[in-house]
Amino acid sequence: MRKVRRVLAVLLILALAATCFSACGKKSSGDDQVVYVYNWGEYIDPDALDMFEEETGIRVIYDEYETNEIMFPKVQAGAVAYDVICPSDYMIAKMIEEDLLQPINFDNIPNVENIGSIYKEMSEEFDPGNKFSVPYCWGTVGILYNKTMVDGEITSWSAIFDEKYADNILMIDSVRDAMGVALKYLGYSLNSTHEGELEEAKNLLIEQYPLVQAYVVDQVRDKMINNEAALGVIYSGEAIYTARENEDLVYVVPDEGSNVWIDSWVIPKNAPNVENAEKFIDFMCRPEIALLNFDYITYSTPNVAAQELIEDEDIRTSKTAFPDDEILHRCEAFVYLGEEMDEIYNAKWEEVKSGQ
């Protein structure tokens, strides 16, 4: 009987805890207005979501992914129907081709006029006619290095293949980005479909494997701030944040050129709440909201009205946040290469990762 009482005590407390937390943990759900948002991890200011919920009464059901490749199968399988997703350029092209997206009715998104026309032009590459996407963030891929841990200034991708920095390199753990970096260093297009070039890039990455401390995507941020490594391949958006936390960190787009990317809002074909999705996208295009998000996630915003609102002049004119034409000229956007090519890229990357 002792055992019984002891267990009852445990259950009682758990039940109490559960009711308590259910009381404060559950959001008020009076009506059924919801919007399912699927976004990159840490890619929005939670306050912006709260403000949206408060203003519209639409509950945001929010989910996160780490890479485009993780997001795609979930959406394709259709096991979860999302209303708004934020994929990158080449993935949008793939989703358009797979017929997973629906054209956006821009009449319901008046704030789209805040998006700079140059970004709409850039979007033409993967979304001809700007029918399916609304730009949310953009940036470049480059090297983040710690001034105190490297010799002199870094200007070339060669640094991340340099034995000098063995065990001090953080490589990006994403197929297209990693292969793209290698291809660019070798002087090829990062959209290469040439077997010989890809093989060369693969071999370069295999040679790099012993030098790499870890393959990471988002963790690069914490590791660089904590001085765990000298160099890391990183998205430009993280550079502002990391420089804020550790002033020895410098971001550079290497001379050989790199990738310029755009992440845009899209509405999948099977979205159950299209109207709410439009409201959500429109809300995110407001200058104040775009600024709020920029301050929080530090990824460059294509919202020109928001760009003007940035108070800190260093950031407003920062080449990291808003690279000039000279840098952009060196950069190339990813193009969707087709399913067969995807598989070849994946197989090559798998070989690299297993350290063969």
Partner 1 sequence: MVKLGKFFKGLYVVLMGIFLYAPIFTLIVFSFNAGKSRAKWDGFSLKWYAALFQNQTILQALYNTIIIALVSSLIATLIGTMASIAMNRMKKLPRQVMMGITNIPMLNADIVTGISLMLLFIMMDFALGFTSVLLAHITFNIPYVILSVMPKLKQTDRHVFEAAQDLGATPISAFFKVVLPDIFPGILSGFLLAFTMSLDDFVITHFTKGAGVDTISTKVYTELRKGIKPEMYALSTLMFVTVLILLVFINRRRDRQNEAQKI
Partner 2 sequence: MKNKKRHSLGQLLLAGPYTVWMVGFIVIPLFLIVYYGLTNKSGAFTWENITAITSAVNMKALWLSVELSVICTVVCLVLSYPLAMILANSKMKNSSLTAFLFILPMWMNALLRTLAWLTLLENNGVINTILTKIGLPTIHIINTPTAIVFGMVYNYIPFMILPIYNVLVKLDKNVINAARDLGANAVQTFLRVILPLSIPGIISGITMVFVPSLTTFAISDILGGSKILLLGNIIEQKFKTANNWHAGSGLSLVLMVFIIVTMVISSHYEKDGESANVW
Q: Which two tokens stand for residue 184?
A: 């660019």
Nearest-5° Cα angle at 211, 206 to 215:
75
Least distance from C-beta 201 to partner 2, angstroms? 17
Q: Are 172 and 215 in contact (CB under 8 A)?
A: yes
Q: Are 240 and 319 in contact (CB under 8 A)?
A: no
Closer to partner 1 at the Cβ: 43 or 106?
A: 43
Q: Tell whether residue 63 is a contact of partner 1 (CB under 8 A).
A: yes
Q: Tell whether residue 248 is a contact of partner 2 (CB under 8 A).
A: no
Q: Site for partner 1 (CB under 8 A): which residue of 80, 149, 166, 347?
A: 80
Closer to partner 2 at the Cβ: 174 or 318?
A: 174
Short-list 80, 57, 83, CA closest to 70: 80
Phi, psi of 192 (to 5 degrees): -55, 140
Map residues 204-223 to x or -, x wherever contact with partner 2 holds by CB under 8 A. Answer: -----x--xxxxx-------
CA within 13 Å, CB half, 212: 21
Closer to partner 2 at the Cβ: 120 or 353?
A: 353
**To which residue do tokens 């009711």 refer?**
19
Q: Site for partner 1 (CB under 8 A): which residue of 4, 107, 152, 163?
A: 4
Least distance from C-beta 234 to partner 2, angstroms? 15
Which residues of 23-133 form beta strands (DSSP E)? 34-40, 59-65, 84-85
**To which residue do tokens 């800190």 refer?**
312
Map residues 165-194 to x or -, x wherever contact with partner 2 holds by CB under 8 A. Answer: --x-----x---------------------
Q: 81-94 burial string, b = 16+ CB within 10 Å, else e?
A: ebbbbbbbbbbbbb
Footprint of partner 2 (CB under 8 A): 3, 7, 67, 69-70, 72-73, 76, 167, 173, 209, 212-216, 226-228, 346, 350-351, 353-356
Could you list the residues that contact partner 1 (CB under 8 A)?
A: 2-4, 6-7, 9-10, 13-15, 17-18, 21-22, 24-27, 36, 38, 41-42, 46, 61-64, 66, 77, 79-82, 216-219, 221-222, 225-226, 245
